[in-house]
Amino acid sequence: MATFAVDGLAGLQEALEAHRDPAKAIAMAAYMRGKFPFLGIATPKRRRLTAAAFAGLPPPGEGELGELLGHLWERPEREYQYAGCDLAARHVARCGAGFLDTTRTLITTKSWWDTVDALASSVAGPLVARYPAGHAVMDEWIASDNLWLARSAILHQLRCKQRTDAGRLFRYCELRLPDEDFFIRKAIGWALRDYSKTDGEAVRAFVAAHPGLSPLSRREALLWLEGGRKGRVAGRQS
C-alpha cells in the first residue's frame, strides 16, 4: 500500500530534483542571505510539483505527517522545507493539540522568517484556535529566549480577524516591547497592523498608550490605518 510519508517523499524528491535550476538557485540563496542552499524552483512551480507528488495518496495521520516533515527538514535545499510548510498547513486539521510539539521542533530547526512565519500562522494558529490548551503553549513561547518561538507566539493569530483574542495579542506585544531584536519588533508591528483591519481604534489606543514601542513597530502597526483610506479608494490594501 502506498504511504503518504514514504511514497510522497520519494515522488517529491524525484520531481524537485528534475527541475533544478542552478542559476535561479544562486539568486534565491542570495535573497535569503546565503543561509540555505536552493534547488532554484519558484513557488508556483514547486507547489504544482508538490501537489502532483502527493496526488492519489491516502491522507496522512498525525504521526505520518510528522514523520514526513522530519525528513523534509533534513534535506539541505530550502524548497523541501517550503513544501513541508504547505503540507503541514493543508493537513493540520487532521492533527491534535500534541502537534504543537512537532511545530515547535520545526520552528526551532533551520530557523528563519520564511518557514517560521508560515508555521506560526498556518499551523500553530489553527491548532491553538481548535484546542484551548494551546494557549498555555503560546504563553510559554512568548516568554522563550528563542526569538523564533516568541515571534511565532506574536504572529499565530494573523488573519483571525474577529476571532482574534485581542487581550492576548496586546499582552504578547507588551511583554516583548523592550526586545531590541529586529524580528520581534517587526512581528509586533505586523500583528498589530493585521488586527488594525478589524479594530483600528483598539490598535490606535494600544500604540498611543505605549510610547516605548520601537519606531519600527509603531510604523508597521499604523501603516494600514494611515494609508488605508487611500488604499481603499484605489481598490487595494496595504
Give the model confidence (pLDDT) of 48-64 as tens digits.
Answer: 999 999 999 999 999 99
Residue 51, domain member (yes or no): no
- CA–CA gap between residue 1 and residue 112 (Å, rounded): 36
Residue 101, domain member (yes or no): no
pLDDT less than 50: residues of the chain: 229-238
Residue 106, domain member (yes or no): no
Chain centre distance of CA 60: 21
Residue 1: the pLDDT is: 53
Question: How many domains is the chain built from?
Answer: 1
Residue 196, domain member (yes or no): yes
Question: What is the pTM assigned to this prediction?
Answer: 0.92
Task: State the residue range of the domain holding 183.
Answer: 157-238
- CA–CA gap between residue 36 and residue 116 (Å, rounded): 14
Give whole-number Cα distances, 230 to 44, 199, 216, 236, 238, in Å.
Answer: 30, 18, 21, 9, 10
Residue 58, domain member (yes or no): no
Residue 177, domain member (yes or no): yes
CATH number at residue 184: 1.25.40.290
Nearest to 60 by CA among 99, 13, 114: 99
Residue 35: the pLDDT is: 97
Encode burial over 161-199: b for 16+ CB neighbours within 10 A, e otherwise.
eeebebebbbebbebbeebeeebbbbbbbbbbbbbbeee
Residue 169, domain member (yes or no): yes
Residue 236: the pLDDT is: 33
Residue 213, domain member (yes or no): yes
